[in-house]
Amino acid sequence: MHANWKTWAHVTKLDPDKHLPQGAIEEIATSGTDALMLSGTLNVTPENLSELLDLVSAYGLPLVVEPAGPECAIFDGAIDYLFVPSVMNTDDVRWIVGKHHTWLRHASSIMWDMVVPEAYIVLNPNSAVGRVTGANCALSAEDVAAFAEVADRYFHFPIVYIEYSGTYGDPSIVQAAANAVEHATLYYGGGIRSAEQAAEMGRIADTIVVGNAVYEEGIDVLRATVRAVQ
């Protein structure tokens, strides 16, 4: 039985390409975060993904893999969900449907009950995900709201994900997306490095994702972001 991802307030994102000190995984797993998401943009391989999965799977927290590409779309027994992104605000069709087509052409079997599609709206042009996907990040609040609404009401994505990737976003833009979304769960990720920021975005989005803070600020800050939204 899978955990219910719709109830999560706080998700911690771990990058298979980054290294954590000894003991850090246990501290993250016991921080009170609702789930761990294994996700990165650069240098993510099936090998380092499996390595990280081995480290985190012992703690019984819900585990999500967010594949950087088709080769990382794995259905390992340890994971609960595969969150598969499509980038709404790119002109490069590979990141909307092309990589997904490649995945299905070559996959031996897909466990569809584990797959959760995400509509990504990428808003940091200097981020790895922004550069790799060619996202058009120069968007007004109205633009973002329209992308969020088309993802939610037209394409019926279960998750709309506002991704500022490494930098703290504009709450008024996230609010515009929240106002536009009727059915989807709104995720916010990017630059949350304090309880105040976690609380601010947690009031607007359904779920906040904390990633860089784990590596740059440490476990105490992660715990503070959990307490701010739980």
Structure confidence by residue, pLDDT tens digits, 121-144:
999 999 999 999 999 999 999 999
* Model confidence band, residue 159 (pLDDT cutoffs 50, 70, 90): very high
Residue 38 has pLDDT above 90, yes or no: yes
Question: Does 166 carry a binding-site annotation?
Answer: yes
The amino acid sitting at 108 is S
Position 45 scores a pLDDT of: 86
Contact in structure between 77 and 35 (CB atoms under 8 Å): no
Q: 184 or 18: whose pLDDT is higher? A: 184
> At which residue do the structure tokens 């490069």 appear?
92
Question: Does 161 carry a binding-site annotation?
Answer: yes
Average pLDDT score over residue span 168-188: 98
Average pLDDT score over residue span 30-35: 96
Question: Does 163 carry a binding-site annotation?
Answer: yes
Question: Does 196 carry a binding-site annotation?
Answer: no
Distance CA 141, CA 174 (A): 8
Distance CA 177, CA 100 (A): 25
* Domains delineated in the chain: 5-119+189-229 (3.20.20.390)
Position 76 scores a pLDDT of: 82
Question: Does 162 carry a binding-site annotation?
Answer: yes
Question: Does 211 carry a binding-site annotation?
Answer: yes
Question: Does 190 carry a binding-site annotation?
Answer: no
Q: CA dist 132 to 3, 38, 42, 136, Å?
A: 31, 18, 9, 11
Residue 1 has pLDDT above 70, yes or no: no
Question: Does 41 carry a binding-site annotation?
Answer: yes
- Record the tokens describing residue 85, joined without a space: 């992104």
Question: Does 18 carry a binding-site annotation?
Answer: no
Question: Does 164 carry a binding-site annotation?
Answer: yes
What φ, ψ does residue 65 adopt, rounded to 5°? -105, 130
Lowest-pLDDT range of 90-94, 103-107, 222-226: 103-107
Position 111 scores a pLDDT of: 93
Phi-psi region of 158 (alpha: psi -120 to 50; beta: other; left: phi over 0): alpha
